[in-house]
Every structure is written in C-alpha cells, then in structure tokens.
Chain A
Amino acid sequence: MIENNLLSIIIFAPLAGAVINWLVGGKLKNETFSGLVACGAIAVSTIVAFMLAFGIGTPHAGALFADKPVLDHIWTWISVGGFRADFALGMDRLSGIYALFVTFVGLLIHIFATGYMHGDKGFYRFFAYLNLFMFAMLTLVLADNFLLMFVGWEGVGLCSYLLIGYYLKRDEAREAAKKAFVMNRIGDWGVLMAIFLIFTLTGSISFFDKVVDGEQVQSVFTFVTQNMSADPFTWGAIFAGGLTSIGVLLFIGATGKSAQIPLLTWLPDAMAGPTPVSALIHAATMVTAGVYLVVRANAIYQFAPTAMWIVAVIGAATALFAATIAIAQNDIKKVLAYSTVSQLGFMFLAAGVGAFVVAIFHVMTHAFFKALLFLGSGSVIHGMHHEQDMRRMGNLKKYMPVTFFTMAMGWLAICGIPIWAGFFSKDEILYRTFAADNYFPVSDFPGNKVLWAVATLTAVLTAIYMTRMMIMTFWGKERWSEPEAVATGDLGTAHESPLEAALDSHDAHDDDEEEHHHEVPADFKPHESPWVMTVPLIVLAFLSTVGGLVGIPYAMSSLVGAGEINVFEHTLDPVIAKKGEHDGHSAPSASGENEVKHFYASAPAVPGAYDPHSPEVIQKERLLALLSVVLALAGIGIGFALFRNNPLRKMPKILEQKWKVDEFYNGYIVDPLTSLSREGLWKGFDLGFIDGIVNGIGSFVKELGDIARRVQVGFVRSYAAVIMLGAIVVLGYFIYYGFKLVN
C-alpha cells in the first residue's frame, strides 16, 4: 500500500480557493484577486496531480506506473455495523489520468474565464462556484470508494445547478438549472441502489484493497473477479442477476450525469450558463463522469454481458439521436451541446463493447477538442457581444483569426481527420465495435455490425454538422448588421420558424444587464479576444492536434514503421479486470450448465484476448480506418456542398424542435403527475377524504350537540368540548375493553 498525504491537496486546494473567494473575494470585489485565487488553487492541484501521477519528487513510483494505487486515508466518514465508508482518496492509473486532464483542462478554462467574465458583477461568486466544482469533480475522480465517489457525483450536480443558474434573472437559466439537477437526481437514484446492492453482494464498497485502522478492507472488484474466476460456476450462479442489476443501476446513474437517452434533455438546456462553465462542466469533465463510473466498475460489467449490451445500445442510439438534432440547431452552443451528447454516446458504445481503455481515451481527447470548441465559441460570443445565434454571424475568420484557426483544429479533431486527436480515439471505437464478436446474446444477429453502422453514420453526421457550424460562423458573408428578417429568413418559405426562433432567443437576452448584451450598433465590428482567452485556446488546439498520439493503435503505428507505441492503452491496461481462466472449467453436470456456458460464451471480448498484432486484425483495422477517413472527408464535403453557398439552409422542423422530447416529457410525465398530486392527492385525498372524515365526525357530534341543546340540556358549548365528549365515549369503551382484558 502506497500512502501519500499530498493527494488530499489536490481536492482541498480548490475548496480553499472557493472559500476564500466566497468570504474574502465577496468583500473585496477585486477581479485580479478573485482570478488569482481561483487559478492559483487549480494550479496547485494541477502541479500536485502531475507530481503524483508521474512520481516527480515523490518517494514512490508515479501512480501511472505503479502497480498499486496511491492512497490517502483522511478520516472514517461512516462506520455502522460492518458498513464502512471512508473519506479516503486513491489515485490509480485510471483516476490518475482523469485527475491529470481534469486539473489541466480546468486550469486552462479558469484562465480563459478570467477574460470571459471580465466586468461581471458576480465575478467572485462565479469563481467560488467554479472552484467548488473542481473540488467536487476531483473528489469524484479520486474517491477510493463508491460512497465518496457519490459525494463528488452529487457535488458536481450541485455546482452544475449553481452555475447553470448563474444568470439568476434569466428564466431559461433557472428553469434549466432545476431541470439539470432533477434529471441528475433521477440518475443518482440508480447509483444509490447500485451501492446498496454492491454492499449486499460483496460486503464492501471500496475500490481498492487497503488496510484501515488495522482492518483489512477488500476491494469490490477484486472480490468479484477473484470469486468469479476461481469458481465461476457457483459464483456465477450467485452473482449473475446481482451483477447485471448493478450494471444497469449504475448505468441509470450514468445516463443522468452523462446525458444519455432517456435523461438527455438537460444538457442542451444547461447551455444557459456562462460559456466557460459549458466548456468545463458540460463538455470536458462532469458529463464524462458516467463513463468513468462504468470503466471504474468494469470488473462488474465484464461479468454482466446484458448490462454491457444495454450500455452499448443506449450509447449508440444516443450518439445518432443527438447528432441528428445537432445538425439543425442555430445556437452555436446548442450545436456543441448536442455534439457533446453524441460524443458521450460514442464513449458508452466503447465501454459497452468492452473497449474500456478506448472509452477513456476518447474521454481525454474529447476533453481537449470539446473544451477547445466551447472556449472558441465563448470567444466568438464574447467577440460578438453575447450573440449566440449563428444566423447573425458569418465571415468571422476575418475578424477573429486566432479563434478561427484554433477552432478549426477542434473541427478537424472531432471530424476524425488523421492525425488530429479525435481520429485515433473515434476510429478505435468504430473498429472495436465492428470487431466485438459473439457479442450479442442471440449469436446469429450481427448486433455489433449494426452498432458499427450506426456509429459510422453518426461520424458522417458529425462531420456535416461541425462543418455547418464552422461555415455559418466563420465563412460566408457578414450577417450581424443585416436586418433581422434578411439575416434569418434567407429562404423564401422558411421565414416563419427561424424568425420566431431568432426572436425567441433574442427575447431571452433582453434586459439582461448581467450579461452585458446590447443591441448591435450600426458600426459594430467583432473583435478578437484578449490573450488570456486566446492562450488557452492555442494550448488546447495544440493538444487537440497531437494529443491523440499517445494512443496510436499498433495497426497505425506499424504503418510508419514504429512498433508498439500505444502508451495510453499500455498504461490503463492494468485497470481493466482480467476475467481469468475459466473456459475449460465447466464439466457437464448441472442442469443450469448450458445457460452458464452460454453466459460466458457470450461475454464480450476480453482485452487480453484481443491481439492487436495478428495480421488479419491489422488489415481489418487499417481498412476500417481508411473507410472512416473517407467518410469523414465526405461528411466535410457534404457540409461544404450544402452550406457553403447557403448557410441558412432550412433544416427539417422536427430536428430543429429536438424531436419534441421535452414536450413529450412535460405532456406525459410532468403535467399528469402535477395534476394528480394537486387534484387527486392533496385536494382529493387530504382535504377531501381524510379531513372530510374528521370534519364530518366533528359536525356530526356538533349536530348531536345542537339537538341536545334544543332539548334544553345546554351544557355543550363548543366544538372542542363536543368532540372531547365523543373521544371520552370511545375511550370509555377501550378502558372497559382493557379491564376486560386483564381480568
């Protein structure tokens, strides 16, 4: 066991930053101070994270190279009757990689935000929230058990709530904030139930084997893997249902946090928050927490093929669904939001087909290029004086060359053009999906091929909508000074809806002093952003360009004569549980034998079993890669063909309306539940039925009293007294009964 107390600095530095900014920054109202505190706190975290991950100046090997995680027990949080949850951190290879890119990308976004939020009244508040978010996110990532992870999980939800609703006065912001929190909570329910089930099955909730207070704590994953490998038949029978349930329940949590079907509608709405928040929380870090959870629990998923199948199918479906919506949005941030949902779907697809390492690889490259694209859009919005509607942009490359150039890098990365980062990760997802043999329970159904086709189609759509976004923003003619009708209603018949939409989005910005939006003056010229904003863009553009080189699959690297240089996969491989030898184990005896056999036969490809060096694999992988490059180029080509000369091309209405998912939820779930509660439960049952009975008895006794009064008895004066009389009668009966009982 390696212990290093520095680990806690990674999470507590941002917390300290948040507290200082809240207490001191609120008094000083000094932007330099608040900005320095916030960025300084994250810088400390980043430095410590790099030290521990790479073993710089630490007495032990770095967490990325060591066999065992670096642990830090801070205090025992809950310990009741055999259930223990420590406030303890652990950095292994997985959380190490997460901590690295979360702190680093976080730092860049913090720096960017000091420029973007310049002049905002709530500057200190914004950075306090942002630091608090980093605290929660790093707690989530570095937690060494499920419950502490859940603390971070809920914590990022809270910070997301606070930051989405940051522009307090905007109705859409507060509505979006509440929606995000509630949808996340629905997912959290799944995580909670999964934790209960994990505890029931394994008697532990810890991620790592460790010794605390002289007590041996066993890791959930070791427990599962060991038992399943040692005696697959018995334990398989015991665990089968349980592990699948855990897998599904955890994934319910993941759908909430990572905006997958059916809990996806909050993320696009969350764009009501400030743009750095969208970049940090709703693109790079928080939304990938679901992927982290699934990969962290890969030992469980590997023994739960049904759960993995669900993960893959939902992932692929979400990817396609969100991509179709992204293609018709006119708000630059909405396009990116749906794009994020779609890319998250890719990550789940990867995890679902057993390519856990690739999922994390895509999380990382996505963090680079999506943060870049969001910050780029922030730069555009900043330069355009808080205009987000792409129909009022155009030709910005002339005015914002740095932003244009850096965003173009992100564009190439997400489209999947070699050598940009997105190419390697996305292409490997496609390949691994294609290659996931024997994957579906029904073996003759080519499920993996269908998933591959869906993912490939999505990749083409991605290239199209990103190209559309680039064209509408940076190319074409300048549309911000044109009269609204001309700007938005290019197509004769298409007047109605884009105009309305434009007006709507405009209304939302009106009277919003917090966001400094004002009407575009006649001589308006967009301007390039200051260096605090462009420098992070350049760094991220660099990472988006070359960041994928850490994970080049063998099939590619061998093309240029290099050997096995897939550092990423090599680093993360130990995190993936090995299912061990079990194939020749089952002697035919019990009746459930066939089922069990099938259970294993249908299990997804074990990373260890997949040999990237065999010639057929290399050939297949290269061919598929070639295909996806061609398709990506085709997508970009289609994008140019469709939108280069007609950037305001009318898109299908149903896509623009996001398939009416929100309307469906409101109409069929929210409204009926509200009216049931109001009319049925409250007014009907509470006030009508129960109080009706109580008041009925009351007035009945009062009636009796009135009759009694009429016959001149007259001692009954008040409502209360009458009811007491009734009570005493009842009581008398019971006293009588009580005495009868004892005698």
Chain B
Amino acid sequence: MNGGGPRSPSYIMDLIAENILTILILLPVVGALAVLGYQMFWKQESQLKWVTFAITLLNFLLSLVLVFDKGAASASGFHFEKNVPWISAINTNYHVGVDGLSLWLVILTTFIMPIAVISTWHAVEKKATAFYIFLLLLESAMIGVFVSLDLLVFYLFFEASLIPMFFLIGVWGGKDRIYAAVKFFIFTAIGSLLMLVAIIALYFMHADATGVGTFDFVTLLNTLKLGNMTFSASAGAFLFLAFALAFSIKVPLFPFHTWLPDAHTEAPTAGSVILAAVLLKMGTYGLMRFNFTLFPDQAREFAPLFIVLAIIGIVYGALVAMVQPDVKRLVAYSSVAHMGFVILGMFSFTEWGMQGAVYQMLNHGVSTGALFLLVGFIYERRHTRMISDFGGLANVMPIYATIFVITAMSSVGLPFLNGFVGEFLIMVGMWKSTILSVTAAANWNYIATMVAGTGVIFAAVYLLWMIQRVFFGKVTNDKNRGLADLSYREIGLMVPLLFLMVFMGVYPRPFLEATHSSVSEIQKRVMQRAGGEIDQAQVPGPSEEKTEAHLEIQQK
C-alpha cells in the first residue's frame, strides 16, 4: 500500500498488496490443485515436494509484505482489511484483516510451512500426493483462522484446519495413529461445536438488540462497546465458556491436554511441527481476540480459574515431562507447560503479561517446532525415540548435539535466547496483576508468580536430564555408533530457526512494538468495567507504590 495511485507503474504490486490476505489464503489452495494436477499428468510423486516447497516459500515471501507495511490501519484498527458480502441471507461476510495480534502469527505460519515441507524430504513413503495436498490445505486454513474477522468464517477455518491434521496423523502417523487421530479430532471438535452454538447465539442476540443479526466481529464489538447489547449473567457466562472451552482444548489447557501427547507422538514430524508451532496458537489467539474483547466482564470473572489451571499446567506439564521415556512425548508435555505460561500472561490482564504472552506464542512456535524437527531427525535414523535407546550421541553426532542443546536452552528460557523474554514479561505481568484481588491473607498475584516461576526450574530439569541421557556419556548402544550427523539439508532447516532464537532473544523490540498497540487496546478493553471506567492505572511510580505497599502493611 505504498502510495499506489491508479497511474502508478507498480499497479500490480499494489493490487497484490491490496489483496494480500486473500492471496495468502488462496495460494496454498491453488498449490494443492497444482500438486494434484502435477501428479495426474506426470504420475510422479518424487517432485511434488519441490512444488509444495516452492509454493510455501512463495507464500512466506509474500507474507513479508505485512511486516513492511507502513500504511495506516482502518477505522476498526485492522490493516489490509477486506469486507465482501458472502452469504447475504444470513448476513455473513468474507471479512479479513490483520493487526498486531495476528500479524506475527500469520508470519509464523508461513515461515514454519516451508521448513515443515523440507523436513518431509525423505520421510513420506506413501501417498505423497495426498500428504502434500493436506499440508497446503492446512496452511490455507491456519492463515484463514488468524485473519478472519467474521465469526462464521473464522469458525469454518477453525474447523477446516482439523481435517487435514486429522488425516496427517491418521494416515502418516506412528503405530497408534488411529487412536491418536480420533482422540485429537473428538477433543477439538466437541469444543468447537460448542463455539458454533455460541456464535449462532451471538447472531440472534445481536438481531434482538439492533434488529440486524450479524457474524461480523467488528460490528459485534462496536455494538457491545456502545452498550447497545448486553448479556445477562448466565448468558454471558455460557457464551464465554463456550468460546473458552473450544480454545482451551486447542491450547491445550490442563486438564484438557491429554490429546496432545498422543497426537504429537503419533503425528509425522511435519505434523508435529505444525501442530506445536501453529495449531496450538489458535487457542490462545482465539481467547485473546474473541473472549477478551467480546466478554470482558466474564473474562475478569473467570480469570482466577484460568490462572489456576494455567499454573497447574505449568507445574504438572513439567513434572510429567520429567518422567517421560519417549523424547517426543517429553517435548509434548513441555508444550503443555509452555502454553500454560501463555495463558497465565494473557489472564494477568496487564500489558506486560499480554505482550509477553503474544511473544511467547511466537517463541514457543520457534523453539518447540525446532525441538520436534530435531526429534524427527533422530527418528528417521533410528526409528525409535526412547531415551533409553540412546546415550553418548554427542560423540557420533556433534553438530546435532550442539543444535539440540541450543534449542533446548531456548526452550528452558536462557536469557538472550527467545524464551526468556516472553516468560519474563509474562511473570512481570502476573506479578503486577490486579486481577487476583489482594486479600487480607496474601498477595495472590505474588504467590501465583512464584509458583509459576518454579516451572522455569523444572524446565531445566527435564530437558537437561534428557540431554544428559541422550547425548552425553559413552555410546552404550552399538546401533548408535554408525549414525550420520546432520546433512546439509537438515542443518539448513535449523539455521533460520536458530537465527530467530538468538535474534528474538537479543532484540525483541521490533516484535513487541508491532504488537504493542493492538495488545494494549485489548488490555484496555478487557479491564474496562461496564461503566466504561478503566480498572487499573498502570503507571509505575511512587504514588502507586505507596498505596500498594500500604496494603501490604495493613495485612501485617
């Protein structure tokens, strides 16, 4: 959108920029058709990976337009907004747009896809055509989820992302793939069906309030902000929980997490990577985008519940990860712990916590995605992932060991690697949060942070223990002696991820600044009481400290 008037020579460029979100969604679909066509005409599956890779890479490059955009946001706060009527009978529109919250998630999706495709280079042994088609359709659905501003369209993309993943696990997965795929499907489908009910209910409630039913998120939000539509206590709770359940299962929040280890363990490497890097983020994104803005009162009301579940998830995920005999399952449980941090930060309702949560979504995508890739590498070589089958790998695969240790450190949250910035901001946010009201007994926000902070210790325990058993010591299993170190393809795959780990840890400002305005908008919205008064003055300074500390004194 760089000043392209009708006479501009860069008319086509402008046209692309204008419709960039649509292109990002449709290009993978076109790619899927191309893959199908290629296979039908040439009957040769070995080249498909190149086609798929080219398409995903092109999509990534195109998505960079979003980052370098300097244009102003529309009135509703979104960039590259498109609002085209779709089914006028039920007043649903194809409404897409991107803001600070979704920007990096779209980029993360387009970034991780080419990497996932390369990771399958030699791994897909059967039905390659279908595999790549599903991958491309999955990308399309995931981008759709992050940019949809119409609830019905959002729901369709949300569900659509399930199907390719279901097949990726169920067809190309490990030995218990059917069980894992069905479990994955049922858990997530049940949640999202409830969300559909809530979406339809919103439609009718809007119709009741204003005479026009709508699925449009921006319209709904405006109506709510103007106070033209209010929820009764029970209706509000039902709607909030229906949305929240769908998203919590996706995250997954304790105790809905048991589908995740199975799905991860059985999924092929590319599936695990995408699942961890992007699919889980749909849950946290949805909570922040829809739950916080549409139902701020309920969000505040239920925040203690979510904070408690998040903290349980952090500690529980870490403890269970510690005793896993299977590397991939260990990483899966570590995901539960990490996503717990994201939820914790979001529900602190402070700018620090919420910014940290958004940042941590990206960090988790990069680090955990990388860990799953690394696990995939060793699985391709040895066809086992049991920790006890390894030992002393650092002697035979030094490059692999080095990269693994760096990635693990990023997951552990070592400063100057990406994980630290997110976790730190989340904990600052929780520490300063006012959502857990200060009672006479204790400052619950301090206690919550302190307990969550132990997750940082446990993360070191489970990852280092695993590294110690897998990489250090002498080679005990003869099958491991001849293992080849990483190939150039595999190293090339890891380099961009490693670069991001360091860059995002050392210089997080561009990321945080891009998300700043959208996140603080949501933060203000969610802390707004019905009367319109902002709940919390967040200016650190002596005046505030005085009162805060006085409270402390009074407790004594």
A interface residue numbers (CB < 8 A to B): 75-83, 87, 147, 150-151, 154-155, 158, 161, 165, 168-171, 173-175, 177-178, 181-182, 185-186, 188-189, 192-193, 196-197, 199-203, 227, 237-242, 511, 673-674, 676-678, 681-682, 686-687, 690-691, 694, 719-720, 723-724, 727, 730-731, 734-735, 737-739, 741-743
Contact = CB atoms under 8 A, between A and B. Distances in A.
A446 to B, nearest CB: 29
Given A200-B431, A677-B322, A239 B549 contact: yes
Contacts of A83: 352, 425, 428, 540
B427 A196 contact: yes
B545 A201 contact: yes
B456 A203 contact: no
B394 A168 contact: yes
Given A151-B415, A189-B456, A738 B473 contact: no
Contacts of B174: none
A147 B424 CA distance: 10
Given A178-B465, A202-B545, A681-B320, A686 B473 contact: no
B379 interface: no
A737 B468 CA distance: 54
Given A78-B425, A720-B182, A738 B200 contact: yes
Contact of B556 (A158, A188, A241, A673): A241
A119 to B, nearest CB: 19
A742 B395 contact: no
A690 B427 contact: no
Contacts of A674: 322-323
B186 A720 contact: yes
B238 interface: yes
Given A80-B352, A241-B556, A186 B474 contact: no
Contacts of A743: 204
A82 B516 CA distance: 12
B258 A182 contact: no
A201 B547 CA distance: 11
Interface string B402-425: 000000010000111000110011
A737 B352 contact: no
Contacts of B461: 182, 185
A182 B460 contact: yes
A238 B414 contact: no
B449 A694 contact: no
Contacts of B540: 82-83, 199-200, 203
A81 B351 contact: yes
B190 A690 contact: no
A178 B446 CA distance: 29
A168 B456 CA distance: 25
B454 interface: yes
Nearest to B472: A174
Given A80-B352, A169-B473, A723-B186, A189 B556 contact: no
Contacts of A79: 509, 512
Given A185-B456, A201-B549, A742-B208, A676 B319 contact: yes
A552 to B, nearest CB: 40
Contacts of A177: 468, 472
B198 interface: yes
Interface of B: 182-183, 185-187, 189-190, 193-194, 197-198, 200-201, 204-205, 208, 234-235, 238, 242, 255, 258, 261, 316, 319-320, 322-324, 350-352, 355-356, 392, 394-395, 409, 414-416, 420-421, 424-425, 427-428, 431-432, 446, 449-450, 453-454, 456-457, 460-461, 464-465, 468, 472-474, 506-509, 512, 516, 520, 538-542, 545-546, 548-550, 552-553, 556
A274 to B, nearest CB: 16
Given A77-B508, A199-B428, A158 B414 contact: yes
Given A189-B454, A686-B261, A741-B205, 12 more contacts: A77-B508, A78-B509, A151-B416, A155-B416, A165-B472, A168-B395, A174-B473, A193-B450, A241-B549, A690-B255, A734-B197, A735-B197
A677 B323 contact: yes
Given A200-B545, A719-B182, A731-B194, A185 B538 contact: no
16 contacts: A76-B509, A78-B425, A80-B512, A83-B425, A151-B415, A173-B472, A185-B457, A189-B454, A196-B427, A201-B549, A674-B322, A677-B319, A682-B320, A694-B258, A731-B197, A734-B194
B456 A192 contact: yes
A174 B449 CA distance: 31
A169 B546 CA distance: 56
B258 A738 contact: no
A239 B416 CA distance: 32
Contacts of B453: 189, 192-193
B27 to A, nearest CB: 32
Which 10 pairs show the lowest CB-CB distances between chains A and B? A203-B540, A81-B351, A174-B472, A238-B549, A742-B204, A151-B415, A678-B323, A677-B319, A196-B431, A738-B201
B472 A168 contact: yes
A367 B234 CA distance: 67
B416 A203 contact: no
A197 B512 CA distance: 23
A147 B205 CA distance: 49
Given A80-B352, A189-B453, A738 B197 contact: yes
Given A81-B351, A169-B392, A241-B553, A203 B201 contact: no
Contact of B415 (A150, A677, A678, A682): A150
A203 B545 contact: yes
Contact of A182 (B183, B427, B457, B553): B457
Contacts of A201: 545, 549
Contacts of B424: 78, 147, 192
B190 A730 contact: yes
A190 to B, nearest CB: 9
Given A189-B457, A742-B208, A238 B201 contact: no
A81 B538 contact: yes
A203 B465 contact: no
Given A192-B427, A200-B545, A242-B552, A82 B509 contact: no
B460 A185 contact: yes
Contact of B351 (A80, A182, A188, A730): A80
A80 B464 contact: no
Given A182-B460, A720-B185, A174 B468 contact: yes
B200 A735 contact: yes
Given A168-B473, A720-B186, A80 B355 contact: yes
Contacts of A168: 392, 394-395, 472-473
A192 B409 CA distance: 17
Among A150, A174, A227, A724, max chain B CB count under 10 A is at A174
B258 A727 contact: no
B457 A82 contact: no
A127 to B, nearest CB: 16
A324 B540 CA distance: 49
Contacts of B549: 201, 238-239, 241-242
A173 B472 CA distance: 9
A230 to B, nearest CB: 11
A185 B463 CA distance: 13
Contact of B541 (A87, A203, A724): A203
Contacts of A78: 421, 424-425, 508-509, 512
A84 to B, nearest CB: 10
A741 B538 contact: no
Contacts of B509: 76-79
A743 to B, nearest CB: 8
A173 B392 CA distance: 13
A511 B474 CA distance: 10
A675 B446 CA distance: 29
Contacts of B506: 77, 87
Contacts of A171: 473
A5 B457 CA distance: 36
A741 B189 contact: no
Contacts of B520: 81
Contacts of B507: 75, 77
